[in-house]
């Protein structure tokens, strides 16, 4: 009896220790496909790409492995934006139900994860009923526990999810093997954004004539950079507008420009042989990997986190940065990031206190 008690005590203490450790240190995981389930493994006949490059050994095994790891695992911290600000997993599309859907696969894998709706919600002209299976287009390789290109982060009692390059630019073949670099042609980005509780944070990707049309009252105002008081847009009206706009995006597409034009483009493959100089104007002609790094960094630098445009919102969108920031944060999913105009603070002053990467906003 005493021995059993000691064993149980040790187990409980150990469990508490593990929970405490991960609560303090945190834990993160993204699926990195092993070569045995990859359809198109790296070739040993790669062409020499060292022309006009600052890197001396671009084809080294170490660099290739690093590139693969970054491609599948690196989110550049966008889990904070998607989870804590946009609230992508706080509505009818939840991480718990994503987990349940993967468990139901029994390791078989799928190229279109069906996730049960957590609640009934009306998005634009579509009503999603509680319990309805939502076609996400997310790929889960056979034997995997998470979707391809989705990174889960546990920190201080909160679970977040962000996305890497692979969510759009890798897919599965009929045998549920991973195909590096191929377009995920049925990924429904528009629907996933629309189901978020603060999809309004993506308002710069819509066909918006003027944000002023959404300012219905002068009860909620912010002080802009000129010292003037300007009204914030109505949260409900703006949310419904953005939902309708992003729901127009076809599967396998994404709006990649911050120009108040709703012009989604098909997700591209990332096969680059023969594509130099990169970009429609050849702007990526020089630099690391013959300029390829200049062409591929746009997605994470501009498209993922709309807060990235705060300092240039006036020049690009004709919206004062205080109004721009206040609009994005006024309905943030987490209270920590939710801006309250009644606080008397400017949105930039508020965000400066909670910004996880303050050096990038300067």
Q: What is the pLDDT of residues 293-336, one digit of tens each?
A: 776 776 766 678 899 889 999 999 999 999 999 999 999 999 99
- The answer on pLDDT for 126 being more than 50 is yes
Compare 188 and 297 and report the one with higher pLDDT: 188
Rg of the chain, C-alpha, whole Å: 22
Q: For 23-64, how does the pLDDT look when each residue is reduced to its tens digit (9 = 90+)?
A: 555 789 999 999 888 987 665 444 554 444 445 566 678 888
- CA-nearest of 146, 176, 171, 170 to 79 is 146
Predicted TM-score of the model (pTM): 0.88
Which phi and psi (to 5°) does residue 18 adopt? -65, -45
Provide the residue ranges of all domains of the chain, joining segments of one domain with +: 24-38+56-361
- Res 3: pLDDT: 53
Mean pLDDT of the chain: 87
CA distances from 236 to 99, 119, 196, 244, 317 (A): 30, 18, 13, 13, 22
- The answer on pLDDT for 207 being more than 80 is yes
**Structural contact between residues 59 and 49, judged by C-beta atoms closer than 8 angstroms:** yes
């Amino acid at each position: 009896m005493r021995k059993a008690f000691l064993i149980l005590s040790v187990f409980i203490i150990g469990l508490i220790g593990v929970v405490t450790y991960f609560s303090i240190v945190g834990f993160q995981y993204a699926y990195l496909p092993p070569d045995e389930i990859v359809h198109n493994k790296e070739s040993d006949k790669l062409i020499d790409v060292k022309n006009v490059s600052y890197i001396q050994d671009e084809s080294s095994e170490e660099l290739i492995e690093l590139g693969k790891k970054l491609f599948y695992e690196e989110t550049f911290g966008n889990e904070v934006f998607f989870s804590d600000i946009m609230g992508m997993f706080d509505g009818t599309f939840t991480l718990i139900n994503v987990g349940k859907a993967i468990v139901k696969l029994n390791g078989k894998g799928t190229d279109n994860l069906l996730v049960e709706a957590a609640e009934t919600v009306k998005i634009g002209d579509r009503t999603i009923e509680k319990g309805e299976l939502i076609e996400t287009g997310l790929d889960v390789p056979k034997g995997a526990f998470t979707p391809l290109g989705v990174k889960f982060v546990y920190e201080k009692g909160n679970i977040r999810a962000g996305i890497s390059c692979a969510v759009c630019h890798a897919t599965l073949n009929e045998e549920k093997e991973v195909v590096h670099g191929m377009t995920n042609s049925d990924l429904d980005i528009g629907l996933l954004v629309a189901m978020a509780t603060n999809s309004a944070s993506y308002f710069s990707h819509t066909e918006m004539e003027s944000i002023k049309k959404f300012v219905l009252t002068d009860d909620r105002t912010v002080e802009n950079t000129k010292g003037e008081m300007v009204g914030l847009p109505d949260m409900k009206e703006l949310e419904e507008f953005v939902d309708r706009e992003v729901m127009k995006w076809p599967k396998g597409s994404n709006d990649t420009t911050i120009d108040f034009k709703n012009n989604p483009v098909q997700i591209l493959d990332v096969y680059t042989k023969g594509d130099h100089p990169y970009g429609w104007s050849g702007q990526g002609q020089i630099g690391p990997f013959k300029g390829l790094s200049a062409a591929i960094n746009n997605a994470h630098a501009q498209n993922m986190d709309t807060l990235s445009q705060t300092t240039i919102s006036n020049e690009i969108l004709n919206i004062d940065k205080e109004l721009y920031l206040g609009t994005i944060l006024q309905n943030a999913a987490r209270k920590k990031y939710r801006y309250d105009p009644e606080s008397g603070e400017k949105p930039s002053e508020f965000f400066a206190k909670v910004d996880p990467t303050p050096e990038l906003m300067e």
